[in-house]
Chains A and B, each alone.
Chain A
Amino acid sequence: MNAVLSIARKEFADGLRNRWLLAISLLFAVLAVGIAWLGAAAAGQVGFTSIPSTIASLASLATFLMPLIALLLAYDSIVGEDEGGTLLLLLTYPLARWQMLLGKFIGHGGILALATVLGFGSAALAIAALVPDIQLSLLLWAFGRFMASSILLGLVFIALAYALSSLAREKSSAAGLALGLWFAFVLVFDLGLLAILVVSQGQLSGDLLPWLLLANPTDIFRLLNVAGFEAAGSVSGLMQLGSDLPHGSGLLWACLLAWSAISLSLAFYLFHRREV
């Protein structure tokens, strides 16, 4: 266990040293505050509107950002060490491969979680302090759920980044794979679903489609954060499919957790198979 913590500690220290933590936290805080106050500008309104619409906008943003940041943070974890010669060295140490990967996961996950809490948390504090008559319990619940699901989404993509990094022979190809993965989940998947909807013209079983959303962790994340806010009218487009799913948010949490577990298992498997 000591070895795992030593690896985690180094990755975390790296995140502090190269200003990743600072940069991500600041980015999140600025974006969150900006969205909270200017999100309704298009509707001719400036100022804080409501918690549901703020969270919905934040979730749309985090759907793009969180996977991208997680992939950037972790894409070179394995292949980078290989290129530097340290992977070969580490594998001769009294340290199993799973320990090495778990240590990295804890370290990277720690950086991402802390940045999320610092960044979005400070935005929540700003809203609590500056908006009069805010419903504190709702704010806490909505932001807590948003931050927890953001972290989980980040962990999924950190683990997927390890899987790619274990496959790639060069750092540049790992970066390319990561970018491809991001496109696939964040952009292509939803377009594909829409295409299926349009082409099938309702022929396709309407019961099946909502379940397909669960095959994409970024969609699960968005569903989680708009659930319960349907009344606010901020749920639109593909996300409306999600309201057809049974069991509400419990299922969604379980799915997101399953996604992180499966991604991490895949990373363990691929890293274990990698030859040095």
Chain B
Amino acid sequence: MNAVDIAGVDQHYGASQVLHELNLTLAEGEVLGLFGHNGAGKTTTIKLILGLLKASRGDVRVLGQSPAHADVRRLLGYLPENVSFYAQLTGRETLQHFARLKGAALSQCDELLEQVGLTDAAMRRVKTYSKGMRQRLGLAQALLGTPRLLLLDEPTVGLDPIATQSLYQLIDQLRQHGTSIILCSHVLPGVERHIDRAAILAGGRLQALGDLPSLRAQAGLPIRIRLHDSQARGTQHWQAQGLAASAINGGHWFEVSTGQEGKLGVLRQLLAESAVSDVELHQPSLEDLYCHFMQQAGGNQ
């Protein structure tokens, strides 16, 4: 059974259509990154999965059932993008309130507060919390009742690099325990190692969907190889060998572009030269892929 099945979904808000023929599935224990510009349809997709919206056309199933079902909701965890909680309650009281509503054990609250590093602030009012602390409280809230499907909307906003790292570690742990996760984010660097697949939305249409290697193959973006030439022989030397080379920073460093299939050949060629003293390999990053698919989407419209 898939954690999420979205089949042929259109979504209208009044006269404007915000989702076009969306097909998306999430297997159990899979982590999906959902990326897109503002207004691309990310939040709408999340609201459909949460059962807050009813699809204008098409079918949405969550854990095999309709998402509005109370049994499904007990198995969901959701971290909204902006949540300020109740200013007058302490962090602990807030979490306990939500635990009661979800039917989760109250004993879980202290464990979760510790897990997100809020133990020291648990007795302080949420009013005094920083943005990052609220975000972590929200995360603890999403983990109440050990959900099987977790939706995280911009989870790293307001988090410092250490907290961001521990969030990603937590995602890895949860995945190992079989939790399915959808991660919506604008922050692309760093996230790619923690997701199984990426879905890129633009203008309400799914532009690309797949794991990183397949997205790279689909995009056909060049791989950039940087090399350090200790003899500094200039661009002509490399171009004479049939390589698409350009100089960077003048002097010793050059960059060679190649397609995925030519990568190893170029590398062998470079490594055969004793004057090449250093090589850096730059695969298209998630950011590069995102920009590529966004430009493609912009060109189509």
Residues of A within 8 A of B (CB): 2-3, 6-7, 9-10, 14, 17-18, 84-86, 88-96, 276
Contacts and interface: CB of A to CB of B under 8 A. Distances in A.
A93 B51 CA distance: 10
Nearest to A81: B86
Interface of A is mostly: helix
16 contacts: A6-B100, A7-B101, A14-B86, A17-B88, A18-B88, A84-B85, A84-B87, A85-B84, A86-B85, A86-B86, A91-B52, A92-B73, A93-B73, A93-B101, A94-B101, A94-B103
A10 B97 contact: yes
Interface residues of B, number: 24
Contact of B70 (A14, A86, A89, A94): A94
B83 A84 contact: yes
Contacts of B80: 85, 88-89
Contact of B103 (A2, A84, A88): A2
Contacts of B73: 92-95
Contacts of B194: none
A7 B82 CA distance: 21
Given A18-B88, A85-B82, A92-B78, A2 B52 contact: no
A86 to B, nearest CB: 6
A3 B101 contact: yes
Nearest to A18: B88
Contacts of A94: 70-71, 73-74, 101-103
B85 A6 contact: no
Contacts of B70: 94-96
Given A86-B86, A95-B70, A276-B52, 14 more contacts: A14-B86, A84-B86, A85-B83, A85-B84, A85-B85, A86-B85, A88-B80, A88-B83, A89-B80, A89-B141, A92-B51, A93-B73, A94-B71, A95-B101
A94 B73 CA distance: 5
Contact of B50 (A10, A85, A92, A95): A92
Contacts of A95: 70, 73, 101
B98 interface: yes
A90 B101 contact: yes
A86 B70 CA distance: 18
A2 B100 contact: yes
B76 interface: yes
